[in-house]
Amino acid sequence: MATLTFDTTSTVCAVHLKRADGIVHEAVAEIGRGHAEHLIGMIDRALGALGLDYADLRRLGVATGPGSFAGIRVGLSAARGLALALEIPLAGVSVLRALAAEHGQGGPSLVILDAGRDAFYAELFDASGHSPEGPLLHRKQDPFPRQWMDAPGLALIGSGAAYAGALLARTRMATLASIPSIATIARLCEADSAPVRPKPLYLRPPDAKPQASAGLVARRTA
């Protein structure tokens, strides 16, 4: 059995392949854009590196966003296509949750990422990693939610951490990192014992055209 996980939500294209014996192949490429042109090739090389084929895959994982609209589409389309063709389960995890799991340090955390146009993707997590309110799009002109203001000892995570730290009391800076490791995404997806069909997490209407990714999965699994 092998588990494949990938992330195409940012300027990075990342692939994590774990064989049944625990051997892992990981590849991360800073590509900017054009995930459709890179993803399947990276998956092919990962499978080859571990001596596997698509038929050896038994589970899939994918990052669902938020981030690049086109990148999210490419990742979800490829993941759904593979899951359907191979008849295997597919789990999804948000970038916000993965960052909280990676950098939350066992306490409450606010993950806040620069979304451009004076807005931020954000989500508040408690010490157990639960998100009572879910993700949201916060605009600079809007007041902070009361839950953010009242939470003591928040770990601030993400590219918007400095912005939030200047306006929130009783916080601690954790990291400005905005891209979780593919290993963390893979771990969270593997831990999902009852995965449901993942949906893209945009948090605002898409404003980019889809990349030409149709047929990529079919050509590799036929």
Mean pLDDT of 137-164: 92
Mean pLDDT of 176-198: 95
- pLDDT score of 206: 63
Query: What is the rounded CA–CA span in Å between residue 141 and residue 158?
Result: 19
Helix then strand then coil, % of the chain, to nearest 5 = 30, 25, 40
User: What counts of helices (H) and strands (E) characterise the chain?
Assistant: 7, 10
pLDDT at position 220 over 60: no
Mean per-residue pLDDT over the chain, rounded: 92
- pLDDT score of 40: 97
Class of domain 2-94+180-221: alpha beta
Query: What is the rounded CA–CA span in Å between residue 219 and residue 133?
Result: 41
Strands 2-7 and 57-63: parallel
Question: Tokens representing 60?
Answer: 């899939």
Q: Which residue has the tokens 């589970």?
A: 59
Q: What is the pTM of this model?
A: 0.90
Lowest mean pLDDT among 28-32, 60-64, 194-198: 194-198
> With pLDDT > 90 as the criterion, what percentage of the chain qualifies?
78
Q: Which residue has the tokens 């998956």?
A: 43
Residue 199: how many other CB atoms lie within 10 Å = 10
**Per-residue pLDDT tens over the stretch 32-41:** 999 999 999 9
Split at pLDDT 50, 70, 90, the class of 214 is very low
**Per-residue pLDDT tens over the stretch 87-136:** 999 999 999 999 999 998 888 999 999 999 999 999 999 999 999 899 99
- pLDDT score of 170: 82
pLDDT at position 173 over 60: yes
CATH of domain 96-175: 3.30.420.200
- pLDDT score of 216: 54
How distant is the alpha carbon of residue 41 from its chain centre? 20
**Residue 115, H or E segment:** strand 109-116
Domain span(s) for CATH 3.30.420.200 in the chain: 96-175
Secondary structure (3-state) at 218: helix
Peptide bond into 66 cis (omega under 30): yes
Domain span(s) for CATH 3.30.420.40 in the chain: 2-94+180-221
- pLDDT score of 36: 94
